[in-house]
Amino acid sequence: MINNISIPIEKTGDREKIAGYAIYLGDMKPEGMLYAKTLRSDRPRARISKIDIPSMPEGYYIVDKNDVPGKNRVKIITDDQPIFAEDTVNYIGEPILLVVGPDKQRILELISEIHVEYQDLEPIFTMEAAENRSLPPIYGEDNCFAEYSYSRGNADRIFSEAKLVVEDEYETGYQEHIYMEPQGMLGVYEDNRITVYGSFQCPYYVSDALIQAFGWDSDRIRAVQTTTGGAFGGKEEYPSLIAGHVAIAAFKTGHPVQLIFDRTEDIEVTSKRHPSVICFKTALDDNNKILAIKADVSINAGAYAGLSSVVLQRIIFNVVGVYNIPNLEVYGKAVATNTVPAGAFRGFGGPQAFFAIEMHMHHIAKRLGLEPLDFKKKHMVKTGDPTATGGTFWDDVVLPDMIKSIEEMSGYREKVKSFNEKQGDSFRGIGVSLFYHGCGFTGSGERDHIKAVVKLRKYADGKVEILVSNVDMGQGLLTTFSKIVANTLELPIKNIIYVNPDTSRVPNSGPTVASRSVMIVGKLLEDAAIELKSRWNEASELEIIKNYKHPEYIKWDEEKLCGDAYPAYSWGVNAVEVEVDKLTYQIDVKGVWTVFDVGKAIDERIIQGQIEGGVLQGLGLAALEVMNCKGGKLQQRTITDYVIPTAMDFAKVESKLIDNPYKGGPFGAKGAGELTVVGAAPALAAAVCDALGVEIHRLPVTPEYLMEVAKNGKRD
């Protein structure tokens, strides 16, 4: 029993991982297992006219579209992506078929003997090209997978009377997850049932996708999560595609079939963070107060829609950041191109939106000769203020305290002063970002789509098992959920059982995404534990089930995109200090300070891990991680040329947590997993702007990009 839930305990699973005996998918080798390798399109857009396949030796198989028992579509929001290509391919790397067999080398030889005859079609690679109506569209009439808009007040009237109108454009690139364990799946067909084992975030997304692919009843389909070496959103929707591959292969061959990507294949063909372009038009009055913003968002979705519509929603709802802007007009679209499909990535659109708005605020302040943080503070939302979509910030907004803390920790004010005084001989700068992350699904997702169910089972020996479909992918759920239940039941932690979920045993408590697990599912577990405690002596074995109940006061209109887009918000303030080399424009990060409000930490060390990892991932997006696409082909395909940060690249993060318990979360906890990645890029970029006296409009901030902007706007 833990008195203060925030006090760290040993993280479940770490011992096994460190010692090397944790079982990952690659360690599983059931009797008779075959390997699979994917034959992929090497064309960005083409019709497949013919496939010449050599005769397969004994024990080797081809698995393709003709083997799909049900619907040849990956089940996700719009179901537009085939499991195996049919008559056309739409991006380089699109799966066409599998070669399956006992020997990996032989499989590669057989793959190389297959010849696909294509009839090339005119591809579209960029958002600009997709918008050019003179080219034939590749999707629908306008290459748009999704399009949304919403407004508040009357922006047009304000613009006609504004004292000053500022227009800006911001651009962000791809980001690749580089989870340590590449994607992988194992399919088994046994007793007329399909089971897939794999490294994934969403057991029920996988099983639902297979139910559709096979057209079978749910009791014949089972998905089991294996110890997952990181996911970061990359194992949210993509695993449903390869689960289809191995399951269909297992069904056809009668053998267990394993498909594991190597790093290059993983980088080339799995989803990425959406590249974005965000344009602002902002109106200010005589007192330098922003009265209206028009924002126009485009994201490059790639060849299939996937989750792009919901990523886009999060971007447009976050696009004015932590500021109360009375008049708004926001438009966004997800654009189809013949490139690898983009998808979920920690922050889910938040990093793109907050980079844009934080830089925009910074640049406006500088252009007006104002101190950026003071300018931001004048526009910040307060408790009870309306949100961009006309909802309400219901819970305590403690940004002023957080800013005070960051100023003290980083020495922001003194540094701004001293760096400015020493203009010319020191390219040093410090920047601050303010941000939030809406916890849980956007809009009515939890209420109308997910409808989470959790179960607690008490056994005769007094042990209690947590039965949920949420997974530990490094973010520590095995520990935090167990703590919530143990603490509520006043039981030692060793009496709580919680193993990797298996859809044949656990109810659907929803996917492990949107930083929802602790706040939404953890709350249901807390409620279940409270009930179990009160009924503890009723019987030696007991089962308690809890269903998600939507808070009455959280209202959302899906048609009008109006109301509370999120039930609650976690908040962050980051400061980054840099020194930029005068010759090479290399950025040396001298200090990183963070203050977060995640309600209440369920385990401070786990939150610390989320902070260090998330901030590093955000700094990578900010300054290191370059990924270009040329002719539909990604140029960076290994971790030698796609460089992610290591602990050596940036200064150690100094962090502080603000206790601000949320009544709707277990022990007051809100979401924490994604928040930590959101604010690093705008803080670093602001610091670099400060150091060089330039404006930054694009991520990543590479030395090459800095040289370019320094030529245009270097301070004197």
- Give the length of the chain: 716
- Binders in 618-677 for ligand MTE, by CB under 6 A: 671-674
C-alpha closest to that of 8 among 496, 483, 526, 497: 483
Identify what 474 binds: ligand MTE, ligand MOS, none; CB under 5 to 8 Å per kind. Answer: ligand MTE
Q: Is 517 in the site for ligand MTE (CB under 6 A)?
A: yes
Identify what 517 binds: ligand MTE, ligand MOS, none; CB under 5 to 8 Å per kind. Answer: ligand MTE
Q: Is 677 in the site for ligand MOS (CB under 6 A)?
A: no
User: Which tokens is 363 given?
Assistant: 């640049």
What is the per-residue binding string for ligand MOS in 333-352, x denoting contact by CB under 6 A? Answer: -----------xxx-x----
Per-residue 3-state assignment (H helix, E strand, C coil) for 524-555: HHHHHHHHHHHCCCCCCCEEEEEECCCCCCCC
Tell me which amino acid residue 632 is.
Answer: G
Longest dimension (CA), the chain: 81
What is the per-residue binding string for ligand MOS in 501-530, x denoting contact by CB under 6 A? Answer: ------------xx----------------
Distance CA 661, CA 667 (A): 7
CB nearer ligand MOS, residue 344 or residue 485: 344
Task: Tell me if 427 sits within 8 A of 580, measured CB to CB.
Answer: yes
Q: Is 232 in the site for ligand MTE (CB under 6 A)?
A: yes
Place of tokens 């980079």: 355
Distance CA 405, CA 594 (A): 9
C-alpha 170 chain-centroid distance: 20
What is the per-residue binding string for ligand MTE in 314-353, x denoting contact by CB under 6 A? Answer: --------------------------------x-------
Cβ-proximal residues to 344 (8 Å cutoff; 6+ apart), any chain = 233, 234, 236, 237, 271, 307, 311, 513
**CB 673 → ligand MTE: shortest distance, Å?**
2
**CB 598 → ligand MTE: shortest distance, Å?**
9
Q: Is 477 in the site for ligand MTE (CB under 6 A)?
A: yes
Q: Is 93 in the site for ligand MTE (CB under 6 A)?
A: no
Q: Which of 301, 514, 621, 634 binds ligand MTE (CB under 6 A)?
A: 514
Number of residues that bind ligand MOS (CB under 6 A): 10
Q: Which of 101, 187, 229, 233 binds ligand MOS (CB under 6 A)?
A: 233
C-alpha closest to that of 558 among 446, 478, 653, 655: 446
**CB 140 → ligand MOS: shortest distance, Å?**
26
CA angle, residues 448, 596, 524, in degrees to nearest 5: 35
Distance CA 418, CA 579 (A): 13
- Of 225-233, 257-265, 267-275, 589-597, the window that binds ligand MTE (rule: CB under 6 A) is 225-233
Q: Which of 181, 236, 358, 527 binds ligand MOS (CB under 6 A)?
A: 236
- Binders in 197-216 for ligand MOS, by CB under 6 A: 201
Identify what 475 binds: ligand MOS, ligand MTE, none; CB under 5 to 8 Å per kind. Answer: ligand MTE
**CB 484 → ligand MTE: shortest distance, Å?**
12
CB nearer ligand MTE, residue 457 or residue 516: 516
Distance CA 431, CA 62 (A): 55
Distance CA 78, CA 307 (A): 9
Q: Is 603 in the site for ligand MOS (CB under 6 A)?
A: no
Q: Which of 473, 554, 601, 619 binds ligand MTE (CB under 6 A)?
A: 473
Cβ-proximal residues to 547 (8 Å cutoff; 6+ apart), any chain = 451, 452, 453, 524
Distance CA 328, CA 416 (A): 32
Q: Which residues bind ligand MTE (CB under 6 A)?
A: 230-233, 346, 473-475, 477, 512-518, 610, 613, 671-674
Q: Which residues bind ligand MOS (CB under 6 A)?
A: 201, 233, 236, 344-346, 348, 513-514, 674
